[in-house]
A and B are shown apart, each in its own frame.
Chain A
Amino acid sequence: MTQFLQQLINGLSLGSIYALIALGYTMVYGIIKLINFAHGDIYMLGAYIGFICTAQLGMSFFPALVAAMAVCALIGVVIERIAYKPLRNATRITALITAIGVSYFLEASTQKVMGTGVKTFPQVLANQKIMIGDVMITTQQIAIFATTIGLMLLLQFIVRKTKVGRAMRAVSVDADAARLMGVNVDMTISYTFAIGSALAGAAGVLVGLYYNSINPLMGMLPGVKAFIAAVFGGIGIIPGAMFGGFFIGIVETLVSGYGSSLYKDAVVYIILIIILVVKPAGLLGKNIKEKV
């Protein structure tokens, strides 16, 4: 039981990271039906910006988090304007391949600028162990979880209660109708990329803090796993991405804890296969009947 609770807590920390990345996948898919495969690399950039802010500029945790989110938001918007916007009316596969290209570009550029090696992320947050019975929680885990929940609440607020949120929801349903109701669709898409990228940037800083080491290719695997989390919850559905992220994180740590960490990736991919076979629209998704 103790081990189960312990793994659950570790899973929630990892799941927080996946959920934050998954939100960006799902929001972008919701609004322009693009699987943005460069999204995992935005997360990597977030970690590097966090690294620069803390290790080189001497910032503390919170300012570094905000700075990483802001810079990632900007990078997300610029990528969309340069790489995806010209392809708005192209076939979906064209945009998808472009996204893969952007992903490699970001990885290679980071390798060029920051070096290919692993960097050590400074411990900007005191890491104390708190024992509850036999279960250990670190203050970092609490910080990760609290930051994630805070950002999710903020996201829900923006999407549900503000004009940008209304515009985002309307564009995802019918972009042409939204345009005719006075909505600046390009601006709304930029906002979506900004918010999704900011969340990925936050995840990058949190992961740097949690694992202490970052490298230019660190975005690949979590990017794929967060994508699976988004598909699991129902791509395009925001609560689905949150749920999927936590679920995948917990499953992964449980597999590592009880079975073997060798299988943790395999299990996540098996989940993807099962969900695609059994409920392709995702857990919270509705199957759309093709109209004849």
Chain B
Amino acid sequence: MTVLKVSGLTKNFGGLAAVSNVNLEIEERELIGLIGPNGAGKTTLFNLLTGVYDPSEGKIELNVEGTMKSIGGLKPYVITGLGLARTFQNIRLFKNMTVLDNVKLAMNKSVKYSTLAAILRLPSYYREEQRVLEEAVKLLEVVGLAEKQTTLAKNLPYGQQRKLEIARALAAKPKILFLDEPAAGMNPQETTELTELIHQIKEQFNLTVVLIEHDMSLVMKICERIYVLDYGKCIADGTPDAIKNNRRVIEAYLGED
């Protein structure tokens, strides 16, 4: 079943086409890699898919309960509500909030009590807060941060901040998870742990995962299918083995001879 279909997607910044006529078709529970040289438009593509930018042209369709729904131009928080969540290339946690509150925040959309109910301390407030707390702690256990609940996000070591971003994205209950360079700045040990974590959450939460990554060993090891961007255009897609031997991909990375 196709969960995300992108056709003819283009984004122009002035005269520059940061993303140009990109087509993607992503199946349920696939693990997709998105690679390309610096400035190829990978993050711009993520920003288009998650609603940060409006597309200049093209269509983005998301499978919402069995029907393909066009999401291009919708507000980011609406798109998140439809089942897309992401992490960021440069970590963007809510630094002055606790680890627990970072995760709880991403659940806001599913929290069912009015502010008035909270002020009057009605049972719905206590019930929902308790549920959110339990779910948040479970997610923190998954990424191994359960002991750090009350730590401020900014005081976590770098590798744990990346994990917290993943937990926070999971809290939004996504069907498709976008990871923007999750292994950036990690040492080999941390990268191995991250690889396991990605596999684990994909199974546990029934996720489709799309990841941007420069660490080729990671990409080749875990991705089932890879799209390659260069100068905003999709120049190849296929299995890791096919991509490794693709002439255009080698040219894009190493230059033509």
Chain A residues with CB under 8 Å of chain B are 154, 157-158, 161-164, 166-167, 169-170, 173-174, 176-185, 191
Contact = CB atoms under 8 A, between A and B. Distances in A.
Chain B contact residues, majority secondary structure: helix
B53 to A, nearest CB: 11
A163 B115 CA distance: 8
A180 B52 contact: yes
Given A173-B94, A181-B106, 11 more contacts: A157-B119, A169-B94, A169-B96, A169-B97, A178-B105, A179-B80, A180-B77, A181-B105, A181-B168, A181-B169, A182-B108
B50 interface: yes
B52 to A, nearest CB: 7
B92 A163 contact: no
* Best-buried of A163, A170, A176 by chain B (most CB within 10 Å): A163
Contact of B104 (A157, A166, A177): A166
Contacts of A179: 75-77, 80
A178 B52 contact: no
Contacts of A178: 94, 105
Contacts, number: 85
B88 interface: yes
A182 B106 contact: yes
A177 B97 CA distance: 13
A182 B119 contact: no
Chain A contact residues, majority secondary structure: helix
Interface string B79-119: 01100011010001111110001001110110101010011
Contacts of A183: 77, 105, 108-109
Given A158-B118, A166-B108, A170-B105, A181 B96 contact: no
Interface of B: 50-52, 75-77, 80-81, 85-86, 88, 92-97, 101, 104-106, 108-109, 111, 113, 115, 118-119, 125, 129, 132, 168-169, 171-172
B115 A158 contact: yes
Contacts of A174: 92, 94
* Best-buried of A162, A166, A179, A182 by chain B (most CB within 10 Å): A182
B94 A162 contact: no
Nearest to B110: A182
27 contacts: A158-B118, A161-B129, A163-B118, A163-B132, A166-B97, A166-B101, A166-B104, A166-B108, A167-B105, A169-B97, A173-B95, A173-B97, A174-B92, A176-B92, A177-B94, A178-B94, A179-B76, A179-B77, A181-B77, A181-B85, A181-B105, A181-B169, A181-B172, A182-B109, A183-B77, A183-B105, A185-B77
B115 A162 contact: yes
A180 B108 contact: no
A190 B110 CA distance: 20
* Best-buried of B106, B108, B115, B132 by chain A (most CB within 10 Å): B108
A-B interface, 4 closest residue pairs, ranked by CB to CB distance from nearest: A182-B80, A177-B92, A182-B109, A181-B106
Contacts of B50: 180
A182 B81 contact: yes
Given A167-B108, A191-B115, A181 B80 contact: yes
Contact of B101 (A164, A169, A176, A184): A169
B105 A154 contact: no
